[in-house]
Structure 1
Amino acid sequence: MDTQFLNTFVAVVDRGSMAAAARLLNITPAAVAQQIRTLEREIGAPLIARVGRTVNVTEAGARILERARTLLRDVADLRTVANDDATAGELRLGAGTNALTGMLPDILARMVDKFPRIQVFIKPGYSPELHRAVDSGELDAAIVLQAPYALPKTCDWELLREEPLVVLAPARMAQRDPHELLASEPLIRYDRSQWGGRQADQYLRTAGIVPHERFELNALNAIAVMVDRGLGVSLVPDWARPWPEGLKLARIPLPQPFEPRRIGIVWSRSTIRLRLVQAFVQQARAAMAATQHDDD
């Protein structure tokens, strides 16, 4: 059995369509369909039910899905086992939306320069799901928000960056009181279903501010653009660059002390790629130190 066909099956299930899987795998939809048909013949059961342009996993497909994922991870591990050093193999990482553009590229630039033989798989996502992926062994490590609960004993965490809450306002409002802005101007809320959004909501409650809500979303770059366009103000963490270009914004510190948003690396101590993970952590420290030096 060709493990590439299993990889295609998992991609189709995860992406929800053959066309989306084809884009991910950089092959044609016809090739995806052919690989699925071949796999179904080898397994002896239908794995995918086609519904228009989308697909559903069959009962037989659901039964083998997790075993397929495990087998693919085991195959990827063979390279790490064969290369008994920290300079080769595949590293499976996760990163939140802002870390993907604001922190991870600088860290990976150092990794690739120092360890050119590594291969890196990157899974984007929100911090809660990435924490679970590391705990389950799906990922080796992830750049995430600090969890608001105790980590499993199999996982480690290291702080990389602290981001204090700031009032984001149009530049013309830079001299106004931040609490007055939050109480009087329309508020573009940072999504309260996410950890960072709940932190901002807690500050508003602690300060006794009842805002006039206009929008709520979990996209910091989009919030910045909305503030620039005069749609309101926002209470957000002072997240890592890059930000959208050409915006005229004021980042106003808060008058009351409050816990910053903390971003760091969580990793599994039980991963077979622990030495690669440790090398990644080391390069992350160096990248964050260089960023701090540039900011100073």
Structure 2
Amino acid sequence: METRFLETFLAVVQHGSLAEASRRMGVTPAAVAQRIQALEDEIGLPLLARSGRRVKPTEAGVAILEKSRRVLAEVRQLKGVARDDQAFGELRLGAISTVLTGLLPNALRRVFDRTPGIDIFLLPGTSAELYNSVAEEKIDAAILVKPPFPIPKTLNWDLIRSERFVLLAPPDLSETPVDRLLREQPFIRYDRSNWGGRLADTYLQTQRILPREWLELDSLEAISMMVEAGLGVSLMPDWRSPLFDKLRVARLPLPNAPSREIGLLRPRNAPSGRLIEIVLDAIRS
């Protein structure tokens, strides 16, 4: 059995579509279908079934999911051991949007320049989604907001940076007291379904501030552009990226401001530990 058959099967299950799996893997839909058929021939049972426009694993497909992930993880580990003189293998890494536009681009450039034997698959998502993907071993690691609950001992947390919350406002309002801005200006809320958004909501409650809210968005990039356009103010972590730093906005300090912690979450005994450390070093440098 070829490992690429298992890789293709897992990609189809993850994305729910043969077409999307082919796009992500850089192969034709016909090649994806052929690999799935070859795997089903070896197993002797159908592994995928259509459900409307989506593709879902059959009972047999669900039964081999976790074992397939473990087999591929062990194969990656074997490749790394065989090439002990250099880092080699694939790293499945998740990241929230502000990490994708801020911390990662330059860090990945350094990784690829120094260790060309590493292949990195990036999965975007919210912190909650990525946490579940790491816990279920669908990916090797993720860079996300620290969970608002205790991290189990089976997972390891590496703090990368702490981002203090600020009041984002149009530049012409930068001399106005922040409590007045929060009470009088239209408020663009950082989505409370995000872990970072909950920190902003808790701050407003502890300060006993009821803002004039009119929007609730899950994208810090979109919120920042709304503020730049003069559509309101917002509470958000002081994240940095080349895109964000070019915006014409004022970042005003808050009294007793909370902080959003960004870090890397991984299984404690991750097979790709060496690759993860290389990426961590590149980010921190």
- TM-score w.r.t. structure 1 length? 0.86
Q: CA deviation at 1:204?
A: 0.6
Structure 1's 106 and 40: CA in aligned 2 closer, same or farther, altered over 3 A?
same
- More displaced 10-residue stretch of structure 1: 140-149 or 19-28: 140-149
Aligned-partner Cα distance in 2 for 1:82–1:12: 29
Contact 1:3 1:72 in 2 (8 A): yes
Residue number in structure 1 paired with 2:260: 261
- More displaced 10-residue stretch of structure 1: 123-132 or 161-170: 123-132
Q: CA deviation at 1:51?
A: 4.0
SS of corresponding position for 1:243: helix
SS of corresponding position for 1:232: coil
Percent of aligned positions that are identical? 49
Equivalent position amino acid for 1:12 in 2: V
Q: CA deviation at 1:242?
A: 2.6
Aligned-partner Cα distance in 1 for 2:106–2:238: 18
- Residues 52-63 of structure 1: pairs in structure 2 closer than 5 A: 52-63=52-63
Aligned-partner Cα distance in 2 for 1:133–1:68: 15
Aligned-partner Cα distance in 1 for 2:225–2:250: 12
Residue number in structure 2 paired with 1:214: 214
The reply to whether residue 280 of structure 1 matches residue 282 of structure 2 is: no
Residue number in structure 2 paired with 1:103: 103
Residue number in structure 1 paired with 2:161: 161
Q: CA deviation at 1:41?
A: 2.3
Residue number in structure 2 paired with 1:182: 182
Q: CA deviation at 1:138?
A: 4.3
Aligned-partner Cα distance in 1 for 2:92–2:17: 24
Residue number in structure 1 paired with 2:94: 94
Residue number in structure 1 paired with 2:37: 37
Residue number in structure 1 paired with 2:46: 46
Q: How many correspondences in the alignment?
A: 285
Contact 1:86 1:276 in 2 (8 A): no
- More displaced 10-residue stretch of structure 1: 268-277 or 39-48: 268-277
Aligned-partner Cα distance in 1 for 2:277–2:193: 32
Equivalent position amino acid for 2:2 in 1: D
Q: CA deviation at 1:223?
A: 0.8
Aligned-partner Cα distance in 2 for 1:186–1:232: 5
Q: Which runs of 5 or more residues in structure 1 are unaligned?
A: 287-296
Aligned-partner Cα distance in 2 for 1:7–1:197: 35
Q: CA deviation at 1:126?
A: 2.4
- Residues 1-296 of structure 1: pairs in structure 2 closer than 5 A: 1-85=1-85, 87-243=87-243, 247-254=247-254, 256-286=255-285
Residue number in structure 2 paired with 1:293: none
Q: CA deviation at 1:246?
A: 6.1
Q: CA deviation at 1:282?
A: 2.8
Residue number in structure 2 paired with 1:294: none
Structure 1's 54 and 45: CA in aligned 2 closer, same or farther, altered over 3 A?
same
Aligned-partner Cα distance in 1 for 2:23–2:237: 34
Aligned-partner Cα distance in 1 for 2:176–2:47: 60
Q: CA deviation at 1:239?
A: 1.0
Q: CA deviation at 1:208?
A: 1.0
Structure 1's 278 and 189: CA in aligned 2 closer, same or farther, altered over 3 A?
same
The one-character-per-residue Cα deviations of 1:6-28 (angstroms, maximum 9, x if unpaired) are 22221111111121111111122
Aligned-partner Cα distance in 2 for 1:267–1:45: 33
Q: Which runs of 5 or more residues in structure 2 are unaligned?
A: none
Aligned-partner Cα distance in 2 for 1:150–1:85: 37
Equivalent position amino acid for 2:275 in 1: L
Aligned-partner Cα distance in 2 for 1:141–1:56: 24
- More displaced 10-residue stretch of structure 1: 25-34 or 162-171: 25-34
Aligned-partner Cα distance in 2 for 1:161–1:245: 17
Q: CA deviation at 1:197?
A: 0.3
Contact 2:69 2:137 in 1 (8 A): no
Aligned-partner Cα distance in 2 for 1:219–1:283: 26
SS of corresponding position for 1:5: helix
Equivalent position amino acid for 2:210 in 1: V
